[in-house]
Structure 1
Amino acid sequence: MPYDPTQYEARAQVLKALAHPIRLWLVTQLQQQELCVCELVDGTDVDISTISKHLSQLKQTGIVSSRRQGKQIFYRLETPCLLNSLSCVETVLERNAKASSALIK
């Protein structure tokens, strides 16, 4: 299969959107239900403008979507399959931890 830079750039953009601890946390918070920005802010020590910027980045890549209800904006996860990728990351972390502990012994 030949290298298609456009295809890989698009994939890299999605991965870049996830490549921040707060954005990863936001994705996991939205896995069960739609939440408003105010509820997401309550779970962190981060201000509302920072959370909104992170949500905007996730929205630009299609990971989340939003809807307005009065003054509140609610976000929902559009791609729950990403949680499978996060589970895979956890497997890598566990394997690395086991390998590190084996080296110490």
Structure 2
Amino acid sequence: MNGAWVPLCQAKAEFFRMLGHPVRIRVLELLQSGPMPVRNLLSAIEVEPSALSQQLAVLRRSGLVTATRSGSTVVYELAGGEVAELLRAARRALTEVLAGQHALLTELRQTEAGAVPAADGVGAVS
């Protein structure tokens, strides 16, 4: 890979790898509704405190969330609206992918049950 595009694509790949953990995704989803103290995140996600702390640190270092301390309470919030928009876009894309998979699964089940796929892609019983 020698193209000038490589560094940018590598940065994007790192960004998506950073998002590639279910706890981090769940934290970001929860924070879409507004700032939350760590104790609320813990009760909503139900992971060990050390595991949540580790994932929050990754999100902080990436700049996706910010943390403020008030006494012994640490409150997290999304660093910007783009994160929420990214999650909405991911939800839309996943919905499309899963809908396509559901359509294929339906067609497969129909062919296994003796149906013949019609020309329009909808199974028809022969």
- Provide the TM-score with structure 2 as the length reference: 0.73
List gaps (5 residues or longer) in structure 2. 111-126
Higher CA-based Rg: 2
Q: CA RMSD of the aligned region, Å?
A: 1.6
SS of 2:84's equivalent in the other structure is coil
The alignment status of 1:92 with 2:92, answered yes or no, reads no
For the 8 Å contact 2:26–2:45, the answer to whether it is kept is no
Where does residue 46 of structure 1 map in the other structure? 47
Cα deviation, residue 21, structure 1: 1.3
Q: Provide, for residues 31-69 of structure 1, a one-character-per-residue CA deviation record: whole Å limited to 9, x for no partner.
A: 111001111100133111111111111122222111111
How many pairs align? 104
Calculate the TM-score normalised by the size of structure 1.
0.85
* Higher RCO (CA < 8 A, seq sep 6+): 1
Cα deviation, residue 17, structure 1: 1.4
The unaligned stretches of length 5 or more in structure 1 are none
User: Residues of 1 paired with 2:101 and 2:14: CA distance?
Assistant: 26
1:32 matched residue in structure 2 = 33
Alignment match, 1:5: 6
> Is the Cα contact below 8 Å between 1:13 and 1:61 reproduced in 2?
no
The whole-number CA distance in structure 2 between the counterparts of 1:45 and 1:84 is: 23
Instruction: Quote the offset at 1:14 in angstroms.
Output: 1.5
